[in-house]
Structures are given as structure tokens and as C-alpha cells.
Homo-oligomer: A and B are copies of this chain.
Amino acid sequence: MRAAVGIDFGGTNVQAVVVDEAGRVLADGVWPTPREGPAVADLVAGIVASLDVEGLPLGIGAPVLLDGDGIVVAAPNLPSVIGTDFGRSVRSRLTEMNRNPAALVVDNDATLAAVGELELGCAAGSRDAVVVTLGTGIGAGLIVNGQVIRGANGFAGEAGHMVVDTAGPPCPCGRNGCWERFASGTGLARLARDAAHAGRATRVVELAGGDPEAVRGEQVSLACAEGDPEARAIMSAFGWWVALGLANLCLLLDVELCVIGGGLVGSGDFLLAPVREHFAEFMEPATGGTGRVVPRPVAQIVLASLGSRAGAVGAAWSAWKAVGGR
């Protein structure tokens, strides 16, 4: 079988895919992310075994920054692996089980999501684009002149840790008011719980079993789909924060396309519509009192065509590349 395996470690879930050379997903699965570092390699080995894909090229994405030696130097949403050699521990576990891959590639999850959307998804053919992955945190892959850029140390794209509100809540990264405190799945859940405690999320709380503290983003999406106006107000407030950060990225990089990926893609138009509306407000041209308005081109905003599997597909694509495929 000419195929590759991609595994994407999120802060909450692990997504795995087997993809053939035409970009078709042949098999996939989702597992909860292990809390402890050593369990990460065990899970990879278990996935390889359960998908029966030993010997194929294997790509792994994770919410980490790796230095030139493969050591994890930062991982705000997966702290258990800080300081470890992610690739080496996976490789030695696979070797123990006699399940060596044809190649093993480890990279930042958001970078791989951008690779996936650029090579096999909705950013194909784009020259300047950003792919933001809204999950437990926010990662971004930046496409400049048709290529995913890496930066001086391979750390480019840490958009989730742009400070957008200096008075905002503390972030595990050590700063305050990072974009991902507001515009990630974690941020949506916090907005929803705030609304629940203020009595502005009756249906959402019902769907969460009656406990405001149990409210998650999923219940906001569900209530939106039922037409619940309180849930839609929460999603609009959330969309404002997503749009704010996208506007920052667009002002900086002047992209033609913003792709939204990650678990929240499942909210579909309930998410996309308020994001687009608020983004248009942020990008409205100012006249500076002159009364003259010159329309300027602004970026299109779309949902990842690979959905929440963009990172895993990008990981598989990178593994192909490592063995000279695609």
C-alpha cells in the first residue's frame, strides 16, 4: 500500500489518519491526549498497532516547539513533554515493538495543518495565507510566497500567544491576555461559562447537564444549531475575538486567505458568519476625517477543507516527502 500515517497531538485529542497518495483518508481515529509524557510514545505505538500500519512513513504533529536537536523547548498546552526528545522516545518505543516506520517526521501541529491545507486542502494555490488551528490553544501556519515559513529556529506561527489584551487572563505560556485565552476552544468554553453564571445561557447549561461549570464549546454549537439566541450571542462574542486576531494577522502579513481549522470547525456557519461579520468591521477603511473611502482588498475567511484532520493530513504529507513520495 502506498500510503502514509499522520498523527496529530492536540491539547485534548489525538487525531490519526492513514492517507493514500491521492490525498484520500483511508482510515482514521481519535484518542484522548495522554496527560503524562511517557504515555505519548505508548499511544503512538498503540495507534500504529491498531491501524495496522507498521512500515509506512509516519508523521507526527504536536503543540510544541522543537529545537534543532528535536528537544521540546516550549509546550504550553502539553507541558509534560517539555525538555524531552519527542521523536526519539517515539522511535525507541516503536523499535521495541518491532514496528519501525519507513520514516519518522515530528513537527509543530499548526505548521503541519498549514502544510495539509496548502498541499491537499483549501489553501492549494494560495500565495499568501494563514491557517489558524483553534483547539485547546491556537496555532498558526503562515504561508508566504506559496510556502509555509519556518522562521529562524522553526518556531514561526505562535499566533496564539500574541498578546491582544494586556489586562486579560494569565496564559500557561507566562504572558497575560494571549489571543488563545479568548479565541480557542478553551476561550469559547470560558465565554460560555461566564454567560452561564450570568444567567445568559439557559439552554447551553441544560445541554451540559445543568451545571454551568460543565459547559464546553460543543454545547454552544449544539444550542446554536437549535436556534437558541443566547448561544448565538455567545458565538458572536467569540467570533469577535477570533476576528480580532485574524485582523492582526492580516494587517501584518496582508494575506489573501485565512483558513480556520481545528476542532471548532465543526461549528460551521455558526462560527464562520460572526467571524466574517466582525472581521469586516475590523478591516473597514478609516477616512481620517477626509470623508474619502477607498475600498481595499481584504482576506477571504474559510473553514479548513480538511476540517479538524488538517494537522494529521499535513503530518502524513510530510512523512511522504521524507521518503521522496508525492
Residues of A within 8 A of B (CB): 65, 67, 71-76, 79-80, 82-83, 127-128, 140, 142, 144-145, 149-159, 161-167, 172-175, 177, 244, 247-249, 251-256, 282, 284-290, 292-297, 299
A142 proximity list for chain B (CB < 8 A): 252-253
Q: What CA separation (Å) do A152 and B162 show in the bound complex?
A: 22
Q: A34 CB to closest chain B CB, in angstroms?
A: 15
Q: What CA separation (Å) do A175 and B255 show in the bound complex?
A: 19
A129 and chain B: residue at smallest CB distance: B152
Q: Which of B74, B154, B156, B293 contacts A286 (CB 8 A)?
A: B74
Most buried by B among A140, A162, A287: A162
- 22 A–B contact pairs at CB < 8 A? A72-B294, A73-B295, A74-B285, A74-B286, A74-B294, A74-B296, A79-B286, A79-B287, A79-B288, A83-B292, A127-B152, A151-B254, A155-B251, A155-B254, A156-B252, A157-B254, A158-B254, A163-B244, A166-B244, A174-B284, A174-B285, A249-B252
Q: What CA separation (Å) do A184 and B172 show in the bound complex?
A: 29
Known: A128-B151, A164-B166, A248-B162. A79 touches B289 (CB 8 A): yes
Oligomeric state, in copies: 2
A256 proximity list for chain B (CB < 8 A): 152-153
A248 and chain B: residue at smallest CB distance: B162
Q: What CA separation (Å) do A287 and B145 show in the bound complex?
A: 35
Contact A162 B165, beta carbon cutoff 8 Å:
no
Known: A74-B285, A163-B244, A163-B247. A82 touches B292 (CB 8 A): yes
Extra inter-chain contacts (17) besides given A83-B293, A153-B254, CB under 8 Å: A73-B285, A73-B295, A79-B286, A80-B290, A140-B252, A142-B252, A145-B149, A150-B254, A151-B254, A153-B256, A156-B252, A157-B254, A162-B162, A163-B164, A164-B164, A174-B285, A249-B252
Contact A83 B290, beta carbon cutoff 8 Å:
yes
Q: What CA separation (Å) do A166 and B169 show in the bound complex?
A: 13
Known: A65-B296, A149-B144, A166-B165. A252 touches B71 (CB 8 A): no
